[in-house]
């Protein structure tokens, strides 16, 4: 990290990017478990339907990111498209995602490919999901089948996005929505946790067998558990099954993804809501750009010398000036972590596009807005601002 009179200069080769997930932007992911849930008459507010139509418009999305100045693009490939029926792998879908990798490289965007971002094939869910016999074997088989997609041109692969949130979802499925506390998270399902950790290790080995040049890791949702006076032991016990056990599983990885948006305060009685006077985002979370700094330090303390990449960080807001303010604060935290010697390799903003946020289109995280009728893309001022930082590699000092 180089501090100059003009600002904070980030290291050469730093990953400056934005992230998306297939189900949230592609549209019509009809063979996935989420599509089934969206159309089952349950509690999901609205279905994804066409989403941002990025399955067809990915070239336009990548063109915009490259033109704006970004150097990296994290996107996921959809298991439910690639293996729509057990053991049937679609050559057409594999070719589609390979074109996306090639398209990113042609535009000067380094692709980071996520193999699993929350959704699974409907058939996988119907046979019992992650805790069914043979589930890990099936995931490993799918990962091996992605070789034509990731075998060349891809340096970073994320095996599983936010496995701790998947395990929490497993607990909610087991116990029902009454398991949701007023603050904090339910206790993750232990069987799902164990299966996901095993799946990650098996997937990592499969990725390395495809190409030894690929750097493999996974990304963890950091809740930034902050102990209130006297609650240090309670906080450590609360954090371990919800977060730390997944970070520990990455100690032999090439990198670990750090994802954080807000904080959770813990008292001796457990988590408490944000203060009544706190600014809140469209998701209801406390506006807290310092979260990513705490998350980086906490992850580094647990994982050791494994490189860190911020794979998601952002804010749901319809006021783009608050997005710039939030991201400025977050990048100041990243720069402080670098100054203190943490090995932070990149910052990828969530999200490149306004998209489907798992039940609703109302929380707008995107740097680029998407018209729901025409799918026209319009970069927001924050996109030009962050892309400009990517070009210079420098966060200007306040007032410059």
Residues 6+ apart with CB under 8 A from 26: 51, 52, 53, 54, 55, 78
Peptide bond into 351 cis (omega under 30): yes
- Contact between residue 260 and residue 308 where contact means Cβ atoms under 8 Å apart: no
Answer whether 326's CB lies under 8 Å from 315's CB. yes
Catalytic site residue from 38, 162, 243, 312: 312
Do the beta carbons of residue 160 and residue 214 sit within 8 Å?
no
Task: Determine whether 376 is an active site residue.
Answer: no
Q: What is the DSSP string of 239-294?
A: HIIIIIHHHHTTTTSS-EEEEE---EEEETTEEEPPPTTS-B-TTS-B--TTHHHH
User: Which token pair is 195?
Assistant: 């299966």
Strand 7-9 to strand 2-3: parallel, antiparallel, or no bridges (unpaired)?
antiparallel
Residues facing 157 on adjacent strands: 113, 216
Q: Which residues contact 45 (CB under 8 A, 6 or more apart)?
A: 359, 360
Place of tokens 């040049």: 213
Pick from 155, 166, 186: which is nearest to 271 by CA? Answer: 186
From the list 83, 72, 71, the residue with the least C-alpha distance to 112 is 72
3-state secondary structure of 97: helix
Count of CB atoms situated within 10 Å of the CB of 59: 14
CA distance 306 to 273: 32
Q: Which residues are catalytic?
A: 312
């Amino acid at each position: 990290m180089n501090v100059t009179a003009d600002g904070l200069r980030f290291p050469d080769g730093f990953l400056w990017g934005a992230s998306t997930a297939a189900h949230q932007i592609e549209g019509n992911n009809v063979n996935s478990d989420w599509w089934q849930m969206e159309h089952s008459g349950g509690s999901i507010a609205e279905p994804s339907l066409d989403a941002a139509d990025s399955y067809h418009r990915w070239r336009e999305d990548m063109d915009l990111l490259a033109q704006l100045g970004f150097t990296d693009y994290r996107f996921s490939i959809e298991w439910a498209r690639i293996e729509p029926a057990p053991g049937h792998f679609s050559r057409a879908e594999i070719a589609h995602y390979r074109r996306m990798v090639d398209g990113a490289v042609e535009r000067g965007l380094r692709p980071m490919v996520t193999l699993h971002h929350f959704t699974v094939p409907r058939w996988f869910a119907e046979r019992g999901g992650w805790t069914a016999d043979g589930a890990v074997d099936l995931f490993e088989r799918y990962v091996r089948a992605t070789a034509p997609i990731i075998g060349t041109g891809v340096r970073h692969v994320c095996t599983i996005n936010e496995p701790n949130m998947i395990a929490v979802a497993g607990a909610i499925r087991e116990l029902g929505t009454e398991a949701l506390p007023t603050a904090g998270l339910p206790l993750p399902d232990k069987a799902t946790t164990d299966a996901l950790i095993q799946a990650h290790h098996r997937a990592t080995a499969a990725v390395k067998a495809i190409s030894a040049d690929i750097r493999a890791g996974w990304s963890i949702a950091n809740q930034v558990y902050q102990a209130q006076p006297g609650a240090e032991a309670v906080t450590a016990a609360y954090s371990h099954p919800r977060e730390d056990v997944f970070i520990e599983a990455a100690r032999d990885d090439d990198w670990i993804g750090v994802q954080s948006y807000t904080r959770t305060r813990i008292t001796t009685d457990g988590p408490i809501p944000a203060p009544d006077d706190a600014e809140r985002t469209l998701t209801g979370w406390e506006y807290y750009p310092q979260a990513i700094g705490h998350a980086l330090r906490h992850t580094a303390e647990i994982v050791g010398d494994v490189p860190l990449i911020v794979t998601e960080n952002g804010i749901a807001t319809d006021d783009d000036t608050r997005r710039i303010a939030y991201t400025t604060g977050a990048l100041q935290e990243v720069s402080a972590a670098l100054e203190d010697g943490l090995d932070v390799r990149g910052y990828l903003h969530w999200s490149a596009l306004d998209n489907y946020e798992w039940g609703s289109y109302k929380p707008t995280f995107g740097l680029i807005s998407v018209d729901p009728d025409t799918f026209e893309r319009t970069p927001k001022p924050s996109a030009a601002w962050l892309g400009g930082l990517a070009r210079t590699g420098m966060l200007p000092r306040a007032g410059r």
